[in-house]
Amino acid sequence: MSEATDSAPTHGAGRRWSWTDPKLRSAVIQIALGLLLLFLLWAFYSNAVANLARQGIASGFGFLDNRAGFAISQTLIPYNEDMSYGRAFLVGLLNTLLVAVLGIILATILGFLMGIARLSKNVVIQALASAYVEVTRNLPPLFQILFWYLAVLAALPGPRQSWGFGLQPLFGAIGNGLNAIGLGVIGGPIGAFAAGLGAPSVFVNNRGLVVPRFFMESGGTLLLAAIAAGIVIAVLFSRFAKKRREATGQIYPVFWIGLAIIVGLPLLVSAAMGFPIGVERPQLRGFNFSGGVTVIPEFVALLLALVIYTAGFIAEIVRAGILAVSKGQSEAAHSLGLRNGPTLRLVVIPQALRVIVPPLTSQYLNLTKNSSLGVAVGYPDLFSVFAGSTLNQTGQAIEIIAMTMAVYLTISILTSALMGWYNKRVALVER
Amino acid sequence: MKKFLIAATAGLLAMAGAAQAATLDDVKARGALNCGVSQGLPGFSSPNDKNEWSGLDVDFCRAIAAAIFNDPSKVKYSPLSAKDRFTALTSGAIDLLSRNTTWTMSRDTTLGFNFAGVIYYDGQGFMIRKSAGVKSTTELDGASICVQTGTSNELNVGDYFRSKNMKYKEVIAFATLDEAIKAYESGRCDAFTSDRSQLAAVRLKLTNPADHLVLPETISKEPLGPLVRHGDDQWFDLVKWTYFALLNAEELGITSKNVDQMVNSTNPEIKRLLGTDGKYGEGVGLTADWAVRIIKAVGNYGEIYDRNVGPSTPLGIERGINKLWTEGGLQYGMPVR
């Protein structure tokens, strides 16, 4: 760069090594700080390695291939004790992601509903929503997890006294009721129909929720292809509908049609194959139900607590966002003839999102991090399985804590990045 | 800036140096022993309402404090969960872990610890509700089982079920003993598995102990003992020989009540242990009469056992394999010579 273009009134000419030059000074300080930081990191590292070696403690990541030997109570991928610590890490990671992703989705839905309800003109709804917010966000999340786990779910009956759900008990009860009031003519056939339905196949007890497991006996890939095709067609349709709306003003019920395509296409395909769907019904055998799929109460308690706790905060964020949109906007929408629903959906919320999204990101991050509180009820998340059991059995604290930190950091940064991208999309385009 | 750099460097060097120091000197300088114990396990280590700790493991901490300070109360107890105990010892937060911990090869080697001895020979068992109508662990097929995270029990369950060709429904691992017990008591699991001594203690804490039953089978070897960090042999020797001193005292008939008379004994073995002949105590960095202080403060091994877990206590556990070798048990004190 030539001196001539440097029009700023600095000590441009000469550029000598001097502490009086603020730019140079700040550069020197920053480089020195950077070097110091590197030195500190190096010192920590070499100190740790030397100390571990002197005490004869194993180090390195080789332990990830060793046999884990412990059981995990919820596994989304196949796992048994013979598999490695690395596999246990994956199982724990998936459990953390499962509760975090489901929690974020449900907390968003509940939070939006509650936030909107707090602004309702209906006094009862408004009071209920206010009470909800004040109670949930003022109780510590750990307390809420323990409440659901020890006070609510633990009070459910044991496996032998499970509550069974299905059509059979319902119709059976109707049949019995009709018989009792002397309408045996109708009650009899209904009772027979109920008996024909078989035993209930959904059970709730203090070991969790037990549901039948469905699986494809054949043509599984075809069904997956049908689902994928359904999604693609639905997306194409929504684009078409948008163009059509912009061109002609004609409005399609995009959501319902899309849903119909995504659900209907796979249904049609499996119907064409003659419904090759197998059902594995849970059966009480010995101590517990075997077969089917069990949703463990640790997961339910953690999810409920995280959703209800976080939704309290989200409700306030949503309320703030909506109140930030000036009243004139909804008045204008009303004067155009839009009813309350469309006004909220099409005019107010899109503008409110600008205010809602940044603090919402923080809540998502909080929910993800709070999921590690599941350790208190034995939910096998990353923190419990990896930074708990694995750390204890291997003793490799530094490696395991570093990996756990890296995972939480990665999840958080990804969430932030995703929300940042979304925030840019909804941000007000200034003209 | 320069000053900061110098300070930071000095700090780092000091940190690197601190880890080398001898544990005994640190303990003496501090005026108290930092002892890691359980968060409350009757008979082994549990606090009363005045926060005074007692139990087999606690008495071992007190024995060490008595040997060093001639005052068994100079112990600072750190209640630790099974999950946190090893990190506390590795990091130097405690000098000694005396917390019903099983001696296993990986803990003795790759985790970087030394076990000083076996203060209680135990084995893993199962506790179950009587209403389940189960009489043996071989009938546990399909059961839900509660366990504590980070214990050898957690690993034994899987091995045992496999060896018996059984399948558990699920193993739910809790971070603390209290959480595991609460879950078991609320009916979340059919069985709770742990060391038998712990089951006996836990059963007493349940709302209605008579409704629960410890199954007769022992599925594993659980030798419980105190342990120290690698890298300080003098400290390791001190802890190890405190344990042997307790056993030798019982074998020689020295008790907390008669130790003052025993000092005048002419039995050469007693003279060596009590320091009237030779200066064996100096070998572990203490004075010759170190064992006298220990025995006066906490008694011999038999006294400690009877006081905390023996038949006259609520736990009521017979000595069994924890008898001295002279009486057909496994406890064997190495000779002071």
Predicted pLDDT of residue A6:
47
CA torsion, ordered B294, B296, B300, B306, to nearest 10 deg: -120
pLDDT at A168: 65
Q: Are residues B213 and B234 in the same domain?
A: no
Confidence band (pLDDT; 50, 70, 90) for A197? low
Closest A-chain CA to B82: A392
Interface test with B, best of A57, A67, A147, A289 (most B CBs within 10 A): A57
Residue A280 has pLDDT above 90, yes or no: no
Tell me the pLDDT band of A189, cut-offs 50, 70 and 90: low
Query: Quick check: is B336 in a domain?
Result: no
Decide which of B167, B186, B220 is a domain's last residue.
Answer: B220
CB A119 within 8 A of CB A126: yes
Dump pLDDT digits (tens) for B185-222: 999 999 999 999 999 999 988 999 999 999 999 999 99
- The pLDDT, as a whole number, for residue B15 is 46
Amino acid sitting at position A22 = P
Question: Given an 8 Å threshold on Cβ–Cβ distance, is B186 in contact with A154?
Answer: yes
Same domain, B228 and B323: yes
pLDDT tops 50 at residue B278: yes
Rounded alpha-carbon distances, angstroms, from residue B109 to A56, A324, A382, A395, B93? 7, 63, 26, 10, 20
Statement to judge: residues B27 and B114 lie in one domain: yes
Least confident of A215-224, B4-13, B57-66, B151-160: B4-13
Nearest CB to B174: which of A43, A81, A378? A378
Report the C-alpha dihedral over residues A342, A343, A348, A353, rounded to 10 degrees: 0
pLDDT tens profile B60-99: 999 999 999 999 999 999 999 888 899 999 989 999 999 9
A202 versus A172: which is more confidently predicted?
A: A202
What pLDDT does residue B333 have?
95
Classify residue A354 as exposed, middle or buried by CB count within 10 Å of its CB (0-12, 13-18, 19+). middle
Q: Which residues of B touch A391 (CB under 8 A)?
A: 83, 87, 150
pLDDT for A102: 96
- Which of B197, B220, B243 is the endpoint of a domain? B220
In a domain, B5, yes or no: no
Query: Per-residue pLDDT averaged across A12-28, rounded?
Result: 75
Nearest CA in chain A to B229: A55
d(CA A326, CA A352): 10
Query: What's the pLDDT at A181?
Result: 72
Q: What digits encode the pLDDT tens for the residues A110-168?
A: 999 999 999 988 999 999 999 999 999 999 999 999 999 999 998 888 888 888 776 66
Look at B9 and A111; give whichever has higher pLDDT.
A111
Of B12, B169, B175, the CB nearest to A384: B175
Beta-carbon-side half-sphere exposure of residue A26 (alpha carbons within 13 Å): 2
Q: How far is B45 from B38, CA to CA, in rounded Å?
A: 6
Q: Is residue B11 part of a domain?
A: no
Give the count of Cβ contacts less than 8 A between chain A and B. Answer: 148
B136 assigned to some structural domain: yes
Is the same domain home to B37 and B176?
no
* Domain annotation covers residue B308: yes
Q: How far apart are CA A131 and CA A129, in angstroms?
A: 5
Could you tell me the pLDDT band of residue A191, with boundaries at 50, 70 and 90? Answer: low
pLDDT value at residue A155: 87
User: Is the same domain home to B233 and B311?
Assistant: yes
Evaluate whether A213 touches A295 at the Cβ level (below 8 Å).
no
Of B110, B112, B149, the CB nearest to A384: B149
Is residue B334 a part of any domain in this protein?
no
Interface of A with B in 22-41 (CB under 8 A): 29, 32, 36, 40
For chain B, the domain total comes to 2
Instruction: Among A6-20, A339-353, B95-109, B312-326, name the one with the lowest average pLDDT.
Output: A6-20
Which residues of chain A have a CB within 8 Å of the CB of B186? 150, 154-155, 206
Residues B166 and B233 in one domain: no
Tell me which of A211-220, B155-164, B224-233 is least confident: A211-220
CB within 8 Å: B144 and A288? yes
Mean pLDDT (chain A) is 86
**What share of chain B in percent tops pLDDT 90?**
80
User: Which of A174-183, A190-199, A241-250, B294-303: highest mean pLDDT?
Assistant: B294-303
- Looking at residue B196, its pLDDT comes to 93
- B136 shares a domain with B215: yes
Return the bridge partners of B227, or none: B97, B115
CA distance A56 to chain B (A): 6
Closest-approach residue (CA) in chain A for B154: A70
| Amino acid residing at B112 | G
Q: Percentage of residues in chain B with pLDDT exceeding 70?
A: 94
B-chain residues near A81 (CB < 8 A): 155, 158-159, 162
- In the block, residue with structure tokens 């399609």: A252
Q: Which range among A206-215, A404-413, B84-93 shows the weakest confidence by mean pLDDT?
A: A206-215
- pLDDT at res. B12: 47
Same domain (yes/no): B173, B27: no
Q: Are residues B36 and B111 in the same domain?
A: yes
Domain boundary among B198, B220, B242: B220
Q: How far from the centroid of its chain's Cα atoms is residue A37's Cα?
A: 36
Q: Do B16 and A287 touch (CB under 8 A)?
A: no
At residue B105, the pLDDT reads: 93
Which CATH number belongs to the domain containing residue B283 in this structure? Answer: 3.40.190.10
Contact state of B86 with A207 under an 8 Å Cβ cutoff = no
Dig out the tokens for B289 from the structure. Answer: 């009469």
Contact A81/B158, CB-based, under 8 Å?
Answer: yes
The percent of residues in chain A predicted with pLDDT above 90, rounded, is: 45
DSSP strand pairing (B75-79 vs B33-37): parallel
What ipTM goes with this model? Answer: 0.79
φ/ψ (deg, to 5) at A210: -110, 125
What is the tens place of the pLDDT at every residue in A230-277? Answer: 899 999 988 988 888 888 888 788 888 888 888 888 888 877 777 777
Per-residue pLDDT, averaged over A9-37, amounts to 78
> What is the pLDDT at residue A199?
65
- What radius of gyration, in Å, describes the C-alpha atoms of chain A? 30
Q: Find the range with the poorest average confidence among A197-211, A331-345, A415-429, B188-202.
A: A197-211
pLDDT at A425 over 80: yes
Interface test with B, best of A160, A284, A393, A398 (most B CBs within 10 A): A393
Contacts of A154 (CB under 8 A, 6+ apart): A206, A297, B183, B186, B187, B188
Beta-carbon neighbour count of residue B183 at 10 Å? 24
Chain A residue whose CA is closest to B171:
A73
Domain span at residue B148? 124-220
Residue B1 lies in a domain: no
CB contact under 8 A, B150 and A392: yes
CB-based contact, A19 to chain B, within 8 Å: no
**Contacts B182 to A, Cβ<8 Å:** 150
Q: Would B3 be classed as within a structural domain?
A: no
Are B175 and B240 found together in one domain? no
Mean pLDDT, chain B, whole residue set: 91
pLDDT tens digits for range A64-101: 999 998 999 999 999 988 999 999 999 999 999 999 99
- Same-domain status, B114 and B128: no
Flag whether pLDDT at A172 surpasses 80. no
pLDDT value for A278:
73
Task: Yes or no: say if A277 and A215 are a contact pair by the CB < 8 Å rule.
Answer: yes
In a shared domain, residues B243 and B279:
yes
Q: How is residue A94 written in tokens?
A: 């998936």
The predicted pLDDT at position A167 comes to 63
Task: Give chain B positions within 8 Å (CB) of A377.
Answer: 174, 179, 183
pTM for this structure?
0.80
Tokens matching residue B179: 């959480």
| Max Cα distance, chain B (Å) | 75
